[in-house]
Amino acid sequence: MMKTFSAICLALLAGGLSASAQGQEKKIEVIVENPWNAEKVDEPVVIDLSSLGAGFTVKSATVFDGTNEIPSQLDDMNGDTRADELAFVINLPASGKKTLNVILSSLKSDKTYPARVYAEMLFRTSKKNKYAKGYAIYADGASDTYNVQHHHGAAFESELVAYRIYFNEKQTTDLYGKFHKGLELEESQFYPTDEQLKRGFGDDVIKVNSSCGAGTLRGWDGTQSTLIKPVAVRGQRILASGPVRTIVDAEVKGWQYQNKELNMINRYTLYAGHRDAQVDVLFDAPLDKEVFCTGVQNITGHADMFSDHNGLVASWGTDWPVNDTVKYKKETVGLATYIPKKYVVKETSDKENFLYTISVPGKSSFRYYTSFTSCKETFGYPDKEKWFAYVQEWKKALEQPVKITVVKK
């Protein structure tokens, strides 16, 4: 028996895995390389835990850059209460690389990091102005769900910007601009009070109407964008709410679209230090020839527009963000959406949007990105020239992703 136990311990240690009465650990190296000739700041790094062969359920992780600990988080992506991904952000010099040390553990940790992002879903209760925090909601697709949640759907933010996703057939991303960097949603709940506004809080900065706002996926009927209806079931859920990234799903089941019945998830991921949201569109089966569209709102129908005609489109415009034109001022915003060229069918537009149509035959997912700025920002882009210049650099950065290599010890 003693020989057998010793052999097991030696095998574990040889694989970079240690076992003790306190739990199990596995150490790995993560090499992150920046191929671009420009610095990358708050660059996302995501590691699939299933590829590491830890041999145990990972319940905590610690990431080190030399002796400096990097804030990170473990995320359950499929709702089974087990972590599937490790995520963090790092800074990389131009054409540089870093070798990071990661310790995975079978024990939970009570360690916390300063929050740089936040997500919330609030359900209305029987008491006025009292809400219950939630993580998922599903409803009959024919139901009137617009007022079921406070701020009409799940909301999420980084220090720079905040988004909310309407819980109805629009599924539009509505936008909250900030004067100063920081997290505000937990206190303001997307609707700042007069006192909070005097303290410098941000607010809603766009009236989306029936547009795609910033980067909302829509159907396409050949001449214009269409809403996500009819559907059998409509849902939203929060998969992660920080401290490094938020992940929020807008889901439909039984979408009757182009003579098909589709089950679709639009997954929005927002990282610390970012104003842009990564949008993953996920289906439960490969697509055929269905065509979708996305882009940016043509604000008031008279927005300034920029396009590189290769998947990047942006707009700049001014409008009242709400119907109350007495209390509120007009807001000026810049919007942008980038779709990789391999997914693009054609560039187009309709009454409310500047668009690209999208088709991915034989695939069950695709990814694109959307972003915005508000003129109220003290840290942003004050005019259309600077915004349109920025989004071109943003696209270049996205097309130069970091290379991630995992070395198992």
pLDDT at 11: 42
The average pLDDT across 92-108 equals 97
Q: pLDDT by residue (tens digit) across 333-386?
A: 999 999 999 999 999 999 999 999 999 999 999 999 999 999 999 999 999 999
pLDDT at 18: 47
Q: How far is CA 144 from the centre of its chain?
A: 26
pLDDT at 288: 97
Q: Which residues contact 275 (CB under 8 A, 6 or more apart)?
A: 158, 160, 161, 371, 372, 373
pLDDT at 326: 78
- Confidence category of residue 182, pLDDT binned at 50, 70, 90: very high
Q: Is residue 39 over pLDDT 70?
A: yes
CA 205, CA 321: separation in Å to the nearest integer? 5
The average pLDDT across 182-208 equals 96
pLDDT at 22: 72
Lowest mean pLDDT among 11-25, 145-159, 227-241, 282-296: 11-25
Q: Is residue 4 over pLDDT 70?
A: no
- Confidence category of residue 107, pLDDT binned at 50, 70, 90: very high
Per DSSP, the residues of 278-347 read EEEEEESS---S--EEEEEE-GGG--EEEE-SSSEEEEEEEE-SSS-TTTS--EEEEEEEE--GGGEEEE
What phi and psi values does residue 172 have, to the nearest 5 degrees?
A: -70, 145
Q: Is residue 15 over pLDDT 60?
A: no
Q: pLDDT by residue (tens digit) across 220-237?
A: 999 999 999 999 999 999
CA 212, CA 173: separation in Å to the nearest integer? 7
Q: pLDDT by residue (tens digit) across 279-334?
A: 999 999 999 999 999 999 999 999 999 999 999 999 999 999 988 887 889 999 99
Q: Is residue 7 over pLDDT 50?
A: no
- Portion of the chain with pLDDT greater than 90, in percent: 91
The average pLDDT across 57-77 equals 97
pLDDT at 325: 81
Lowest mean pLDDT among 28-42, 145-159, 314-328: 314-328
- Portion of the chain with pLDDT greater than 70, in percent: 95
- The two tokens of residue 263 are 């089950």
pLDDT at 327: 80
pLDDT at 16: 46
Lowest mean pLDDT among 19-23, 185-189, 244-248: 19-23
- Confidence category of residue 14, pLDDT binned at 50, 70, 90: very low
Listed residue (406, 188, 184, 217) closest to 296, CA to CA: 217
Whole-number mean pLDDT of the chain? 94
CA 194, CA 328: separation in Å to the nearest integer? 11
Which residue is listed with tokens 């590491």?
52
Q: Is residue 13 over pLDDT 50?
A: no
The 3-class secondary structure across 40-102, one letter per residue, is EEEEEEEEEHHHCCCCCCCCEEEEEECCEEECEEEECCCCCCCCCEEEEEEEECCCCEEEEEE
pLDDT at 63: 98
